[in-house]
Structure 1
Amino acid sequence: MKKLLPSICLICVMSMSAHAQKVGEVDTVFKLLGPDHKIVVEAYDDPKVKGVSCYVARARTGGIKGAIGLAEDKADASIACRQVGPISFNGPMKQQEEVFTERLSILFKRLRVVRMVDPARNVLIYLSYSDKLIEGSPKNSVTVVPVDKATAIPIK
């Protein structure tokens, strides 16, 4: 059982991340061996807010390390979240909650997207940043989705 515990933990952590839909990519640096360095744009639907999608653009390291999954991607990421349909909520929202997470290195670095609620302005705020086990990065990006005043955001 002790030998299975790390594998079970890894599967649980991986299943918590939202599934991204790749929208597109552009090459930024040619690599003779392995894939080129890229900027990738991915779409994430907020699992608790119907009608809101977030688009994250981030660097993806290529080369041989990138091809075999050992490269550490840069902390740079940009986010834009938009209303893409009627907004509805799957129950009360936490004031602040992690919505998406994605691995940027084999073990210790992750891209995170946190949703915050500003009830005074009736908006949803999405913040993207990266963290590392020892030291994260202050680089971040923020976007706001206004919710119609007729639709109150339910808060826990």
Structure 2
Amino acid sequence: MTAPFVRPRWQRPLLLLLLMTIGCSRSSAEEIGAVDTVFKLIGPDHKIVVEAYDDPKVQGVTCYVSRAKTGGIKGAFGLAEDKSEASIACRQISAISFTGPLPAQEEVFNERLSIIFKKLRIVRMVDARRNALVYLTYSDRVIEGSPQNAVTAVAVDRPIPLKP
């Protein structure tokens, strides 16, 4: 008679982490294109990707973010940590309308850059005096963020509704 299979203690947390990572939905980014920057013999090349994000509360504004994406074996399995540098350009692509009043500052997108620790964030700020929407992109970590950031602004032709 054979003994039942006993799974080592360390496998359960690792399995749960893997399932949570696979189950995490990505923000609503649409990849526009990519260029290779470093050839990797095994796994995908390192590259710069350009993604579009539509502001969920401001119809008619799209943000384009370019960022480095790590390839290789770690990149193929989603285990690589992407670099902190990113660039952003937000533009009016159609008539601007609002789903409701906006807070003075709000995170509108975030996307994981590593399995657990790092995220790329986009924050919308309202410049009421100049009647503009300001978008800031940066990355942070659980322990320590990065001062790398980029900012862009979109002028609005009518008053921006603000939450009190």
Q: TM-score, normalised by structure 2?
A: 0.85
Q: State the partner residue of 1:113.
A: 122
Contact 1:115–1:124, Cα closer than 8 Å, also in 2: yes
Residue of structure 1 aligned with 2:105, choices 96, 102, 107: 96
What is the Cα deviation at residue 136 of structure 1? Answer: 0.4
Letter in 2 for 1:116: M
Q: How far apart are the structure 1 equivalents of 2:99 and 2:145? A: 31
Q: 3-state SS of the aligned residue for 2:144?
A: coil
Residue of structure 2 aligned with 1:19, choices 20, 28, 37: 28
- In structure 2, stretches of 5+ residues that fail to align are 1-12
Q: How far apart are the structure 1 equivalents of 2:126 and 2:47? A: 32
Q: How far apart are the structure 2 equivalents of 1:22 and 1:45? A: 12
What is the Cα deviation at residue 14 of structure 1? Answer: 3.9
Identity %: 68
Letter in 2 for 1:68: F
Q: How far apart are the structure 1 equivalents of 2:27 and 2:105? A: 17
- 1:88-136: CA deviations, max 9, x gaps? 0000000000000000000010000000000000000000000000000
Letter in 1 for 2:87: S
Q: 3-state SS of the aligned residue for 2:76?
A: helix
- In structure 1, stretches of 5+ residues that fail to align are none
Runs of 4+ with >4 A deviation: none
Residue of structure 1 aligned with 2:81, choices 55, 60, 72: 72
Letter in 1 for 2:133: L
Describe the shift of the 1:135–1:36 C-alpha distance in structure 2 as closer, same or farther (beyond 3 A).
same
Q: State the partner residue of 1:29.
A: 38
Q: State the partner residue of 2:160.
A: 153
Max radius of gyration: which structure? 2
Q: State the partner residue of 1:140.
A: 149
Q: Give the RMSD, CA atoms, in angstroms.
A: 1.8
Aligned residue pair count: 146
Q: How far apart are the structure 2 equivalents of 1:138 and 1:110? A: 13
- Is residue 60 from structure 1 mapped to residue 69 from structure 2 by the alignment? yes
Q: How far apart are the structure 1 equivalents of 2:81 and 2:27? A: 20
- Is residue 128 from structure 1 mapped to residue 128 from structure 2 by the alignment? no
Contact 1:61–1:71, Cα closer than 8 Å, also in 2: yes
Q: How far apart are the structure 2 equivalents of 1:62 and 1:18? A: 20
Q: TM-score, normalised by structure 1?
A: 0.89
- Is residue 48 from structure 1 mapped to residue 73 from structure 2 by the alignment? no
Contact 1:18–1:99, Cα closer than 8 Å, also in 2: no
